[in-house]
Amino acid sequence: MLIFPGTNSESETVRICRDVGLDAESVHWSKAASLPKYDAYVLPGGFAYEDRVRAGAIPAHDPMMDYVIEAAGKDKLVLGICNGAQILLEAGLVPGTGAVRRPTAAFTRNAPSGKFVCKHVHIKLSGNPSRCAITAALPSDAIIPAWAAHGEGRLVATPEHLEEITSGGHLTFVYAHADGGVNDAAVPNGSALRCAGLTNKKGNVLAIMPHPERDAWNFNHPHRAVGKDILAPSGGATLFRAFAKALS
């Protein structure tokens, strides 16, 4: 779990990773040299470097990302959530259709309001689950509950690069309704392609904008709890279970 100055979602993300069986821990930016020993990386949400310039732009050039870029090139798994997703796009790792740190797409200001959005959402798997290693264990058309909590979550790219994303199978998750229906009304931020998540060419890096870790235990959604244990992982934990299976 990479911790940049301003990261603020690491605790619950570490916790859900541990609850699904992963041996997870946080790594402070001052301990970046320890990163190569890990098997996979998660970039959690927050406001790294106060989202100066634009969300993810500065941390994408942090020395910690040198290790992540190198690891991704060696097929290690990388998951970025919200601010982590913004960082992965700014670093050029996702969709990965250009050079490193030369982004071909970005998450920018929400439309039409241009304001921060905090809203419960659902994201639906788009395409073949096996296209991305982290989603390979999910069923086709899996629907995962999550919380959108961002000011810059709208995917933007040139028409040519949006076509690359579509034709290359990079679109991993789209915003959807709870029943699986997909239309513009389900999109909280005006994101192009109704995009909620993207993967890279190899399928070992996944960037998703909403927070599944904020809807990951029964106590987060008691009205749709799975079983009687209020502390049991459920809901958004589905994605982290798939992540754990990919690592196993």
Which CATH number do you get for residue 177? 3.40.50.880
The total domain count for the chain is 1
Helices 10-19, 237-247: inter-axial angle, 10-degree rounding: 60
Residues linked to residue 81 through DSSP beta bridges, in sequence order: 208
What is the C-alpha separation between 140 and 125, in angstroms, rounded? 7
Q: Which residues of the chain fall short of a pLDDT of 50?
A: none
Residue 38 has a pLDDT of: 97
Residue 196 has a pLDDT of: 98
Active-site annotation holds for 211: yes
Closest CA relative to residue 51, chosen from 93, 107, 103:
107
Residue 5 has a pLDDT of: 96
Q: Which of 17, 82, 132, 195 is catalytic?
A: 82
Residue 55 has a pLDDT of: 96
Whether the predicted model's global pTM rises above the 0.75 cut: yes
Active-site annotation holds for 120: no
Residue 142 has a pLDDT of: 97
Average pLDDT, the chain: 97
What is the C-alpha separation between 75 and 246, in angstroms, rounded? 12
Active-site annotation holds for 122: no
**Quick check: helix, strand or coil at residue 205?**
strand
Identify the domain containing residue 105 by its residue range.
2-247
Residue-wise pLDDT tens digits, 142-183: 999 999 999 999 999 999 999 999 999 999 999 999 999 999
Q: Which of 122, 150, 161, 211 is catalytic?
A: 211
Residue whose structure tokens are 């073949």: 128
